[in-house]
A and B are shown apart, each in its own frame.
Chain A
Amino acid sequence: MSEKTSRPVADFTDAYPVFTEEMKATHTILVPDMLPWHFDLLTHVMRQEGYKVEVLHNEGRAVIDEGLKHVHNDTCFPALCVIGQYLDALKSGKYDVTKTAVLITQTGGGCRASNYLPIIRKALRAEFPAVPVISLNFSGLEKESGLRLNLGFIKKLAYCILYGDVIMTCFNQTRPYERTAGESAKARADCVQFIRSALDDGSFARLERNTGYLLERFGAVPIEKTPRIKVGIVGEIYVKYSPLGNSHLEDFLLAEGCEPVVPALIDFILYCVANNLNDAKFYGKRSLSTPVFAFAYRWLYGKQKAVIRMMQKTRFAPLHDFKTLRRHADEVINQGVKMGEGWLIPAEMAALAESGTENIVCTQPFGCLPNHIAGKGAMRVIKTRYPRANIVPVDYDPSATRVNQENRIKLMLATARENLG
Chain B
Amino acid sequence: MAYFLGIDVGSTTVKLCVSDEAGTPLYTSYERHFSRVKDCVLSELEKIRSISASFRVAVTGSAGLGLAQRGGLPFVQEVQAAFTAVKKRYPDADVAVELGGEDAKIIFLTGGVEQRMNGSCAGGTGAFIDQMATLLDVSVEEMDKLALQAERIYPIASRCGVFAKSDIQPLLNQGAKKEDIAASIFRAVVDQTVSGLAQGRRIRGKVLFLGGPLHFLKGLQKAFKETLGLDDAHAIFPPEAPCFMAIGASMSAIGSHEEPLESLISRLKAIGDSAEITVGRPLFSSREEYSDFIERHKRSDLEFENIYKYEGDAYLGVDAGSTTTKLILITPDNKILYSHYQTNNGRPLDIVTARLKEVYSLTGSRIAIRGAAVTGYGEDMMKAALKFDFGIVETMAHFKAALHFNPEVDFIIDIGGQDIKCFKVKNRAIDSIMLNEACSSGCGSFIQTFAKAMGMEIEPFSRLGLFAKRPVELGSRCTVFMNSSVKQAQKEGASIEDISAGLSSSIVKNAIYKVIRARTPEELGEHIVVQGGTFLNDAVLRSFELETGKEVVRPAIAGLMGAFGAALYAKENTEQSTLISALLTESELDRFAYSSKAVTCKGCTSHCSVNILTFSDGRRFISGNKCERGAGLKLVEHPLDLYAYKYEQLLAMPAEKEGTRGTVGLPLQLVMYEQLPLWTTFFEELGFRVVLSDKSSRDLYFRGQHTVASDTACYPAKLLHGHIESLLDKGVDFIFYPCESYNLDEHDSVNHFNCPVVAYYPELLKANNERLGPDNFVMPYLDPNREETTVKALRRALARYKIPAGRIRKAYRAGLDRLEAYHVAIRERGKEILARAKEEGKHVVILAGRPYHVDPEINHGIHKLLCSLGFAVLSEDAVFEEGNLVKVNVLNQWTYHARLYRAAEYCTRHRECDLVQLVSFGCGIDAITTDEVRAILERRGKLYTQIKIDEINNLGVVKIRLRSLLAAIEEQSRKEAAQ
Q: Interface residues, chain A, CB within 8 Å of chain B? A: 1-2, 4-5, 7-14, 60-61, 68-70, 72-76, 106, 108, 110-112, 114-115, 117-119, 121-123, 126-127, 141, 279, 282-285, 333-334, 336-340, 342, 366-381, 383, 387, 393, 395, 397-408, 410-411, 413-415, 418
Contact = CB atoms under 8 A, between A and B. Distances in A.
Interface string B91-117: 000000000000000000000111101
B763 A110 contact: no
A336 B741 contact: yes
Contacts of B893: 110, 114
B889 A121 contact: yes
A369 B709 contact: no
B644 interface: no
Contacts of A127: 519-520
15 contacts: A4-B747, A10-B885, A12-B935, A61-B473, A75-B927, A108-B751, A110-B741, A110-B754, A283-B782, A283-B783, A334-B763, A336-B739, A339-B753, A369-B925, A411-B115
Given A7-B884, A119-B928, A401-B485, A378 B767 contact: yes
Given A1-B885, A112-B928, A283-B783, A403 B709 contact: no
A342 B491 CA distance: 37
Contacts of A117: 891
B783 A407 contact: no
Contacts of A410: 65, 77
Nearest to A118: B890
Given A407-B65, A411-B79, A68 B476 contact: yes
Given A126-B520, A380-B768, A1 B749 contact: yes
Nearest to B752: A110
A2 B931 CA distance: 25
A377 B709 contact: yes
Contacts of B520: 126-127
B384 interface: no
Nearest to B928: A115
B587 interface: no
Interface string B457-483: 000000000000000010111000110
B27 interface: no
B62 A403 contact: yes
Given A366-B121, A367-B712, A414 B768 contact: no
B767 A12 contact: no
Given A282-B781, A369-B757, A401-B487, A381 B747 contact: no
B717 interface: yes
Given A285-B786, A408-B117, A401 B754 contact: no
Given A1-B885, A336-B739, A414 B759 contact: no
B713 A372 contact: yes
B712 A366 contact: yes
Contacts, number: 261
A73 B477 contact: yes
Contacts of A418: 80
Max chain A C-beta neighbours (<10 A), residue from B482, B488, B890, B930: B890
* A-B interface, 8 closest residue pairs, ranked by CB to CB distance from nearest: A399-B475, A377-B764, A110-B753, A74-B927, A414-B80, A336-B781, A399-B481, A283-B783
Max chain B C-beta neighbours (<10 A), residue from A12, A337, A387: A12
Contact of A376 (B709, B746, B930): B709
Nearest to A127: B520
Contacts of A110: 741, 751, 753-756, 759, 893-894
B710 interface: yes
Contacts of A2: 745, 747
B711 to A, nearest CB: 9
B544 to A, nearest CB: 15
Contact of A380 (B200, B755, B786): B200
A408 to B, nearest CB: 6
B481 A397 contact: yes
A395 B711 CA distance: 12
Given A11-B887, A112-B928, A367-B712, 19 more contacts: A2-B747, A9-B886, A12-B886, A68-B513, A108-B751, A115-B928, A126-B519, A141-B891, A282-B781, A283-B789, A339-B753, A371-B710, A376-B710, A380-B200, A395-B119, A407-B62, A408-B117, A411-B77, A414-B76
Nearest to A388: B112
A400 B478 CA distance: 11
Contacts of A5: 746-748, 885
Nearest to A332: B767
Given A126-B519, A373-B756, A399 B750 contact: no
A387 B893 CA distance: 40
A380 B111 CA distance: 13
B761 interface: yes
Contacts of B477: 73, 397-399
B928 A72 contact: yes
B267 interface: no
A336 B891 CA distance: 22
B783 to A, nearest CB: 4
B887 A12 contact: yes
A371 B749 CA distance: 25
Contact of A9 (B482, B717, B885): B885
B936 interface: yes
Contact of B747 (A1, A10, A338): A1
A397 B767 CA distance: 26
Contacts of A282: 781-783, 789, 793
A159 to B, nearest CB: 30
Contacts of B113: 415
Contacts of B513: 68-69
B314 to A, nearest CB: 44
A372 B922 CA distance: 11
B887 A13 contact: yes
Nearest to B489: A401
Max chain B C-beta neighbours (<10 A), residue from A122, A395, A402, A414: A414
B747 A118 contact: no
Max chain A C-beta neighbours (<10 A), residue from B112, B518, B713, B739: B713
Contacts of B747: 1-2, 4-5
A363 to B, nearest CB: 13
B927 A12 contact: no
Contact of B757 (A141, A334, A372): A372
A297 B543 CA distance: 56
Contacts of B114: 383
Contacts of A284: 786, 788-789
A112 B925 contact: yes
A183 B199 CA distance: 44
A276 to B, nearest CB: 12
Contacts of A285: 783, 786
B871 interface: no
A377 B928 contact: no
A372 B713 CA distance: 7
A25 B627 CA distance: 66
A368 B889 CA distance: 22
Contacts of B739: 334, 336-337
Nearest to A87: B519
Given A283-B786, A369-B925, A414-B80, A339 B756 contact: yes
Max chain A C-beta neighbours (<10 A), residue from B753, B756, B781: B756
A347 to B, nearest CB: 13
B888 interface: yes
Given A282-B781, A403-B66, A75 B80 contact: no
Max chain B C-beta neighbours (<10 A), residue from A110, A114, A366, A398: A110
B756 A1 contact: no
Given A2-B747, A377-B709, A112 B789 contact: no
Contacts of B79: 411, 414
Nearest to B921: A74
Given A5-B747, A399-B481, A407-B77, A114 B891 contact: yes
Interface string B764-803: 1001100000000000011100101110010000000000
B607 interface: no
